[in-house]
Structure formats: C-alpha cells, structure tokens
Structure 1
Amino acid sequence: MPWNLLIFPLAAAYYVITRSYLFKFRQQRLDRQRLVFESVLIGTFIAFIAFVLRFSLEFIKPELIQQVSKEFPFKQPFTITSLSTVILSWFFVKLSNPLLDKKKYIGKSIKRLGNELEIILKASFDKKKLLQFTLSSGKVYVGWVKELPIPSVSNYVRIIPAISGYRTNETNEILFTSQYLKVYSEYIQEGKIVTLDQLSSDLILDLNCVIGVSFFDLEMYERFNRLRNGE
C-alpha cells in the first residue's frame, strides 16, 4: 500500500478510539503519545480486516472487484481498500455502541486509570454511598452521586442531595441547615415517588470549586454530635 494511503486507516482508528464506548472513556485519560501509539495499533488491525475482505472478494467475485476498480475515479492501487477502513470503523461504532453499556465502560476506565476523585465518585455511584462535598465557598453538601462526569467533556458532577450546610469560620465545624431526607421519606410514604431517581432535586456541582470529598456515615455523624453535646 502506498504510504499516502495510510492516512485513512489512521483516521479510522482515531474515529473508533474517540467514539466507541470500548475505547472512548479510556483514551480520555491517556496522554497524546499513548493516543498516537494506540491509533497506529488499531489502524493496523482495521487495515488488516480491510485487506482480508478485499482478498476474500477477489476470490469469491473477482469480476466485482474489477468492475468497481474500473468505475472508481482514482486509479492508485489499494485506494478503495484504504478508504474502506473509514467505512468499516463507522459501521463498527454505529452498530456496537447501542449494544454496549455506557456506564459500565466509564466505570472500567475509572477503575484502571482514574484519579482519586474519580475513584471515590465511582464508589458512591456503584454502592449508593453518601459523599460529603466541601466547596471553596464553605458550603457543604452530602448526597449520592447520580451520574459520573466524563473527563474532557464535563467538569461537573450530578448528585442527589441528602443534607446541606456550611463550615463555620470560627471553629471550622460543619453546621447542617437543610435536611432533604425527611422530605424524601414523606414523598415515598405518600406514594408520590418509589425511588430517589424519580426526584427532581438533582444538584450539579462544579468540581473546580470542590476542595474536599469524603464518605459520609450518618450514624457516625450523629454519634459524634451526641458526644460533643455531652449526651
């Protein structure tokens, strides 16, 4: 294959890596050199498939290959084969993505390459554990992570708030002022909702404003409060 035709397999590989759920969320955490290396590997694999299909057609229907080559405006050898890699990659992404679980592959990429913040967000999302978010403004939110942010696409995290409050400037203690759990409980008892996912109380936090994240145990918090009050 002439060297100038290699641009098509590389473009096909880049499309697969950035669009397919199999690779998309992992490559968003890789540096540029690793992305180029993986594009070359996947491009080589796609080109190999294209050549196998070409030679199979030449064996099964040689007259079809000759007719297409005759009608095709560009006569450089292997131009159609090289161009077909782009078509193959497009069909692969469009057919495979609807069959794949997007959240599953986001989770897999975080498990392999995620930072500390992504790992704790994933743990809250998977195990339905409460997280405590402290913002640079001093505001504090406790809630469940409803949706994992995608790196390089969104720097926000969506949570279902359970409690909110603020840190005092004097003692740096947390004072909770809003209790959402009681309201949620009333909604469930009245039959207005069945699960918390049906609520319209989602809160979106800017991760740039988050200065601290930790797991939150309501029972432990209440015990510390009783000890602090001398009960």
Structure 2
Amino acid sequence: MPYNLLLLPICAGYIILVYSVLFKYNIQRFHQRRLLFESIIIAILIILISFFIRSIIELLFPQLIPSIVSFLKIIPFQKPDYFWTVFVGTLSSIILVFISNKCIYRKYGKIDPIIWAIRKNGDELEKLFERSSDEGKLMQITLKNNKVYIGFCEIIPEPQKTNYMVISPILSGYRKEPSKKVKITTNYLEIVNYYIENLDDDSTSVELNTDVTIKQDEILTAGIYDQEIFDMFNGSLPPPNDSTTVGNTV
C-alpha cells in the first residue's frame, strides 16, 4: 500500500477529533503536535479496521470484492492499490462521526458532552462552575477590584470557546481594606421580590435579568459558598473554639 494513502485517513482522524462531540471539547487543550499525533493514531486504526472488514467480506463472499473493483475501473483516473478500501473506510468513519453526534445529542442533549469534557480535562474554575450548575451550589467570587458576587451558574460555556462566564447573583458586595472581610451591599432576591410585588395588574410577563458576565482573567478567588462559614469568618457567628484564631477571609 503506498504511503500517500495515509493522507486520507489522517484527514479523517483530524475531522473526527475536531467535530466529534466525544473529542472536540477535549482536543481544544491539545498542542498542535499532539493533535497531529492523535490524528495519525486514528488514521492507523481506520486502516486496520478497513482491511479487517475487507478480509471478512472476502472470506464470506469471495466474488464480491473482485466484482466491485471491476465495476470501479470505469472511473477514469489512475489510482494506487487498495485505494478504494482506504477511501471507503475513511468516508465511512467521517459519516459515522456525524451520525454518532446526532445520536448523542438526541439521547443526552448538547450540554452533557461539555460536562464530560470539563470533568475530565477542565480547569478548577470550569469544574467549579459545572458543579454550581449541576448541583445548584452557590459560589463566592472575588474580582481583582475587590468586588464580590455570591450566586450560581445556569449556563456552562464550551471549554476554551470564550473567556467570559455568566453567573446569577444572589448577593454582592466588596472586600473591605485592610481586613478583607466581605461587606454585602446588594440583595438581589429582595430587589426581584420588590419588582414582582409592584408590577401592574395588567402585566402578563416578567423580564428581569440580573445575570452578570464576568471575565475569567478578572477573577481573583472563587469557591463554594457556605452561609455558616461566611458568618463565622465575617464576625456574625462565634468561631467553633474560642481559643482558635480564625483568618480574615473565606
């Protein structure tokens, strides 16, 4: 088999990595050289599977392969040996990718493949946002300008696609200097309740979006929010042991 036939399955390997929902959210973190290496591995697998299937067909139907090859001779161009075996295997693998994508989307939806990729290769911040979205956990996020948001994530962005994340805040405030204790200044639930209570009787719908878009580069610290721990660190509750000194911030 001529080595230039490897170009077809290598291209197929690249398409599989880039377009398959099982791989594309993970390979976004790969270096270009690793992407090429992974494409070559998939290309070798495509060739091995193609020749294995061809061997099975020749064993079960000895006259089928020669008949197909004879029919394909009507196509007027010079081709190397085993071209059609590699071509059919390559084309079938590409078609299988898009069929499998539709099956996965139909069974699991478009969010689950993103969650799988984040749980496998996501960074700490992506995993935190995924946990907040999946488990409904509140997060406490401190920005570089000392602004603090306490809320949860409803939308999980595709990994590496954007540098921004969206949260639905419940509380917000800032860290006071020099103690770094959190001062809450805004209660979004109270604002939402006030807005709803003062709606006109003729109003049939409510459109109140309090979501906040945050640039990941501006996040200084982030973690799961616990009200009891927050109260202890900010002086609302006594520490668990009076003889224990508790730090200034969560």
TM-score range, shorter chain: 0.7 to 0.9
CA RMSD of aligned residues (A): 3.1
Task: Note the C-alpha offset of 1:225.
Answer: 4.9
Residue segments in structure 2 that go unaligned for 5+ positions in a row: 239-250
Structure 2 partner of 1:212: 221
Structure 2 partner of 1:83: 87
Match of 1:173 among 157, 181, 204: 181
Structure 1 letter corresponding to 2:74: K
Give distance in 1, aligned partners of 2:190 and 2:36. Answer: 52
Aligned residue runs from structure 1 range 54-203, under 5 A: 54=54, 56=57, 59=62, 60=64, 62-100=66-104, 101=108, 102-184=110-192, 200-203=209-212
Moved more, 67-76 or 14-23: 67-76
SS at match of 2:184: strand
| Counterpart contact for 2:114–2:159, Cα < 8 Å | no
Task: Note the C-alpha offset of 1:131.
Answer: 0.7
Give distance in 2, aligned partners of 1:176 and 1:85. Answer: 62
TM-score (norm 1): 0.80
Give distance in 2, aligned partners of 1:170 and 1:69. Answer: 82
TM-score (norm 2): 0.74
| Counterpart contact for 1:12–1:85, Cα < 8 Å | no
Greater helix percent: which structure?
1
1:227 equivalent in alignment to 2:201:
no
SS at match of 1:70: coil
User: How many residues are treated as equivalent by the alignment?
Assistant: 224
Structure 2 letter corresponding to 1:90: I
Give distance in 2, aligned partners of 1:79 and 1:91. Answer: 18
Give distance in 1, aligned partners of 2:86 and 2:72. Answer: 14
> CA 1:3–1:217 in structure 2 vs 1: closer, same or farther (change >3 Å)?
same
Give distance in 2, aligned partners of 1:2 and 1:71. Answer: 20
Task: Note the C-alpha offset of 1:208.
Answer: 1.0
Task: Note the C-alpha offset of 1:214.
Answer: 1.1
Residue segments in structure 1 that go unaligned for 5+ positions in a row: none
